[in-house]
Structure 1
């Protein structure tokens, strides 16, 4: 789902207190398995800031978390700083607009005041052999410089940047950025050390919250969140509301509990254990869903990324580590009768994710699931923003009890801009229905609408309009042969759909 998480845009997204349930057909997968009607437990064991913004409230200097995208416009030249050619050489201040990634710098936070700064081609800012000229030529953050960003207290968008040599950067000319200013001017437009800063995007995932709070505070903050955000009562509520499953997003480092790699903190595994006990108690099926993989599969905050780059699969180690994680989770819960499906990866993103790379992983992941759990379903996730919805069919053809996951939102595309209520509903009844029908075949893999919401880009919609939109989706997605899962049980911005009658039971 690019470099910022599209789910950040769900300002009015519906809670699944929303969701319940017009059951469509209740056709069976086999004699023992009904279609899944599930809800995702988003924002619990995988952090997403839009779901619970308050989790980030007390991080010092929280504008400057890992992965924040910054652009710097020289007040003297009136031009933007940029990594020449995207990186690998000097930094200039001669770009008249900030239309490409070359003008955007990404933070690696060391603490609240000290940062490494990464450019478009993934090199880090530093100084050349003269000790003065600003360059981006190193791929090693540890050897190439720590920077400070000093904000003008009277105008937080005006900044100076202190370089590793203790001096401040200045744009002497459009083609020369050096670190040799004392930074003692009056913040005027004629001062070459003054830059106008724009924050282009922020990430609010697990890396950002744990590294933001630091090793002393983060464990307590996260434990309190895990302990209170989802509780047993939620499982009781889900079961009583007519749903028959929960989709639980997890992240790769939970498999290393209690000592995951820094800055992540341990402790989440015990809450996943509780979830399985509660699911068994209330007769709910569990879809265990690997939301965050080593290196990030899509660059979004829910993938555990540090700075938004897609690096999963670029080294074979990331694939092997992900297989190990899948095996750990499957083996741990194989004897729990609630384990119904294992989803090998969430939302791989098309530009950074080749089919051959995923084929290698999906085949290996399928084998380790089958090694421990011969009868659970294995879910393969389609690439986002990729036109061929059947590209996984050849992979799935040799697999048993395999499912293809698609996500349907009327949100993350320009085509929904300006759509009316009726146009949105017609899109569900026509376009989405046709898409789902095209991949739901009698001799192919099962189909699963793994995420959908009763939210859209329509402004000021009435209750009856929301009701019709939700009803259209329930009817259409009810034709998926495996079932569907609503996103998500809880979030900060809630339409209380059942309580207020948005969805009729």
Structure 2
């Protein structure tokens, strides 16, 4: 009898350790994006695309063209099912949780819920209990998150006609979302996604806290005035209302994405009392554009990365809305040499410099790193699990080193920032 009791106790302890994670419990988001999983990007999953290219042609580089070439083929459907099933393992989610990752941002495409007759995507399979449906794997991920006391931001990552012309919208080329009159469909899509989450909550698949918030649309091409005006005056407010009809309580957040605009442009948009629990999702990369690409990781270049990272807190502190960084990375124009200890140390300090700023103050609501993982050894500066393994991402986000120095006046107002020169010197060593 004693052996049985001990065995049961050990099983209980094992199960408890499996389901427990590290949560800093300070209200900040510390998360990763599950990019490359339900919304495909070739650079993130090159083997998957190569499998399709060998079978259907070398010109397949986005999901629209893939569906045009293969959407009715059994191989296409089965290969995607295998990818959905295998790209993330439960143990990898546990590793993230154990390090203090408390949230994940899950990019999802509209075509899982609705397609028009002139689109090449397969007819949606909305049966979350059918292993041939992508919703089966989305539900399973939500259940894993629930088990590890993590929360999800469900991010509508694509729009019909493309909201930005990038492959991450599903269709490369020009953004025709507004031009082709597709905005109303996106309002339908975000409501359908919210209704799916509400249905799953009603079925007790996971706890309510597992659904943290909804991103109404990822990266609309706001450099075009028609898209920007549509977002701020039409789509963003209506998408909020559609979500609130499903989730009227304010404990489920709604976030509106930066749309390649400046943070201050959102301060007068969707304010209380009409709009509640609204946050702004900024994407902050130090790797795109001619200026960033001219910055190399010599001593001066490293200092610029550090300085710009810490200074970001000066912008966020004055925002009206809670602001989090929905995408960022360690991508840069550097030497890409993980065998160089000084480069690895630079990445480690640059990582904590960025999260110092993203978490600063009342309005700095936290961050989601892009991405949780990348296939293979390519793009290591974008692979959180790889960075965690190499000691670049902190093994304990709740008890970590800090790097930025935030200078406040007597009233506690942030007036300037700098970075820890003593620590920085370690990364400057050759």
TM-score (norm 1): 0.61
Partner residue of 1:486 out of 369, 387, 395: 369
CA drift of 1:260 comes to 11
1:308-347 deviation line (CA, Å, top 9, x unaligned): 120112244x111111111111122133411111001111
| Higher alpha-carbon Rg | 1
Q: Which residue of 1 aligns with 2:401?
A: none
Matches within 5 A, 1:112-127: none
Q: How far apart, CA to CA, are the structure 2 residues paired with 1:253 and 1:286?
A: 20
CA drift of 1:434 comes to 3.7
1:36 and 1:485 in contact (8 A); partners too = yes
Partner residue of 1:240 out of 86, 92, 98: 98
The structure with the greater share of residues assigned to strand is 1
CA drift of 1:436 comes to 4.2
Matched, 1:369 2:243: yes
Partner residue of 1:57 out of 50, 56, 59: 50
Matched, 1:221 2:79: yes
Matched, 1:497 2:387: yes
Gaps of 5+ in 2: 1-20, 125-132, 202-206, 381-385, 396-430
Query: Alpha carbons of 1:361 and 1:497: their partners in 2 closer, same or farther (altered >3 Å)?
Result: same
Query: Alpha carbons of 1:425 and 1:372: their partners in 2 closer, same or farther (altered >3 Å)?
Result: farther
Secondary structure of 1:44's counterpart equals: coil
Q: Which residue of 2 aligns with 1:310?
A: 175
The structure with the greater share of residues assigned to helix is 2
Q: Which residue of 1 aligns with 2:358?
A: 477
Q: Which residue of 2 aligns with 1:406?
A: 282
Secondary structure of 1:394's counterpart equals: coil
Q: Which residue of 1 aligns with 2:29?
A: 36
Secondary structure of 2:346's counterpart equals: helix
Q: How far apart, CA to CA, are the structure 2 residues paired with 1:22 and 1:260?
A: 47
CA drift of 1:403 comes to 0.7
CA drift of 1:476 comes to 1.9
2:56 and 2:70 in contact (8 A); partners too = no
CA drift of 1:428 comes to 4.4
Higher RCO (CA 8 Å, separation ≥ 6 residues)? 1
Gaps of 5+ in 1: 1-20, 29-33, 66-203
Q: Which residue of 2 aligns with 1:468?
A: 349
Matched, 1:255 2:141: no
Count of aligned pairs between the two proteins: 335
Secondary structure of 1:249's counterpart equals: strand
Q: Which residue of 2 aligns with 1:389?
A: 263
CA drift of 1:465 comes to 1.8
1:219 and 1:265 in contact (8 A); partners too = no
TM-score (norm 2): 0.72
Query: Alpha carbons of 1:342 and 1:311: their partners in 2 closer, same or farther (altered >3 Å)?
Result: same
Q: How far apart, CA to CA, are the structure 2 residues paired with 1:430 and 1:497?
A: 22
Q: How far apart, CA to CA, are the structure 1 residues paired with 2:140 and 2:314?
A: 37
Matched, 1:208 2:65: yes
1:293 and 1:303 in contact (8 A); partners too = yes
Q: Which residue of 2 aligns with 1:192?
A: none
1:418 and 1:458 in contact (8 A); partners too = no
Query: Alpha carbons of 1:299 and 1:486: their partners in 2 closer, same or farther (altered >3 Å)?
Result: same
Over aligned residues, Cα RMSD in angstroms?
2.7
